[in-house]
Amino acid sequence: MTLNLWPAATLTPIAMTAALPIVPDPEALPSAPRGMSDNDHRLMERIRDGGDDVQAAMVELVERFQNELVGFFYHLCWDQLVAEELVQDVFVNVFRSRARYQPTAKVRTFLYRIAHNLWIDHIRRRKHHLSLDAEMGERSLRLMDVLRAPGDGDPENANRDATVRTRIQDAVDALPEGQREVFVLANNHGMKYQEIGEVLGIPEGTVKSRMHNAVRCLRDDLQDLLES
């Protein structure tokens, strides 16, 4: 069976949600945007059980979760095309393993667990195929295009904003991988520590420790911006 994963609707531009607050207060993180949803589980059961509407069910699943998953990958790799390719891999994995689905966790958690595993595989592949040209390439331009926020037209302010965004990006990139993924899930996707632990397969206490260390590192690295 040929599965067309991407619905006709276009992806929400990452530019609308990509900017990171400099350093969040871990105690003031937003609540998760999605709770336990019976509709999500029923949708996954339709996919698992097959039938004539399995492709329609897959398209509906993609429409519900594709944008936030693209955002998750984008904030880890800062490459729109790579993020979209990885998200498609997530849904391919869901379809291939649909017969084994059991509603033991939120569907959102189930999808992010797959996304996490794909990201780890992606990192391993990159370590073996790292190209300096590819690493530099259009990365800086793409980063600025995506992170650009509406300004007041003052060139001096625009230059400062660009510098601040680049500093934040570099500081997040410099975090150890485990801390960076926890930070992105909490800060950009509003996940609670318990759900992050379920996604990453680590204890909640480890999530708290990684988040604490990530925030401390970011505050140290961006102290001059916080004081300016």
Of the two residues 26 and 136, the one the predictor is more confident about is 26
**DSSP code of residue 6:** S
**Range name among 31-45, 46-60, 182-196 with the lowest pLDDT average:** 31-45
Q: Is the pLDDT of residue 18 over 80?
A: no
| Alpha-helical segments (H) within the chain | 38-49, 54-77, 80-96, 107-128, 132-136, 139-147, 155-173, 177-187, 193-200, 204-221, 223-227
Please, how many CA atoms are within 13 Å of residue 58, restricted to the half-sphere of its CB?
25
The string of DSSP letters for 127-146 reads: HHS--HHHHHTTHHHHHHHH
**Range name among 10-19, 117-126, 174-183, 199-208 with the lowest pLDDT average:** 10-19
- pTM for this predicted structure: 0.63
User: What percent of the chain shows pLDDT beyond 70?
Assistant: 68
Q: What is the pLDDT of residue 27?
A: 42
CB 15 within 8 A of CB 146: yes
**pLDDT mean across residues, the chain:** 74
Q: Who contacts 176 (Cβ-Cβ below 8 Å, separation ≥6)? A: none
Range 219-226, long-range pairs (CB < 8 A, 24+ positions): 219/23, 221/171, 221/174, 222/22, 222/23, 222/167, 222/168, 222/171, 225/22, 225/164, 225/167, 225/168, 226/22, 226/23
**Range name among 9-18, 124-133, 157-166, 168-177 with the lowest pLDDT average:** 9-18
Give the chain's domains with CATH numbers: 31-130 (1.10.1740.10), 156-228 (1.10.10.10)
**pLDDT tens column, 168-196:** 888 888 999 899 999 999 888 888 999 99
CB 76 within 8 A of CB 185: no
Q: What is the CB neighbour count within 10 angstroms for residue 129?
A: 8
**pLDDT tens column, 77-123:** 888 999 999 999 999 999 998 888 888 888 999 999 999 999 998 88
Q: What is the pLDDT of residue 10?
A: 43
Q: Is the pLDDT of residue 24 over 60?
A: no
Q: How many residues does the chain have?
A: 228
Q: What is the pLDDT of residue 227?
A: 65
Locus of tokens 């276009």: 10
User: How sure is the predictor about 127, in pLDDT bands with cuts at 50, 70 and 90?
Assistant: low
Q: Is the pLDDT of residue 21 over 60?
A: no
